[in-house]
Amino acid sequence: MMHFCNLQSEMIQESNISKFKFEVQSSEVRRLKAQGVQSKHGEAVTTTITKVLNDNLESCGSSFVSKVKMHKIEIIQESNISNFKFEVESPQENHFSLLQHETEKLRSDIEKMGSVLRYEIDKMGSELRAQFEQPNTT
């Protein structure tokens, strides 16, 4: 039903526009005739001018977008941006998490290596002390 109402409204608007065009053309033809232009030429001139103006008006009209359509486009763009952000941020978060895990693993490995190194140094120090403390029998 809504579509029919819109269609009927458009038809009434087009009808009113057609009447307006006809009245404007008729008055322009009369004005040109009063200036000495033949009716046939006046009609041709006003018809041509009207056609050019209508074509330009239609091309301008197609350049504009209704508020509802613009709002719909904005919502779609916001959704696209949100999806894009998710697609970019999600792998980055995963990569960051993996880097944190790898960093913690490397830190643990370094601490273990430090402990092993301290143990080996202490062990060598004890062996050297033991060697120096033994009486020289040679």
Q: What pLDDT is recorded for position 23?
A: 62
pLDDT tens by residue, 8-46: 344 444 544 554 555 666 777 778 778 887 878 878 888
Q: What percent of the chain has pLDDT over 90?
A: 31
CA distances to 84, 101, 102, 106, 107 from 95, rounded to whole Å, are 17, 10, 10, 16, 18
User: Nearest CA to 50 among 72, 22, 11, 78?
Assistant: 22
Read off the pLDDT band of 2 (50, 70, 90): very low
Chain centroid, CA 103 distance in Å: 36
Q: For residues 15 and 58, which has the higher predicted lDDT (pLDDT)?
A: 58
Q: Does 138 have pLDDT greater than 60?
A: no
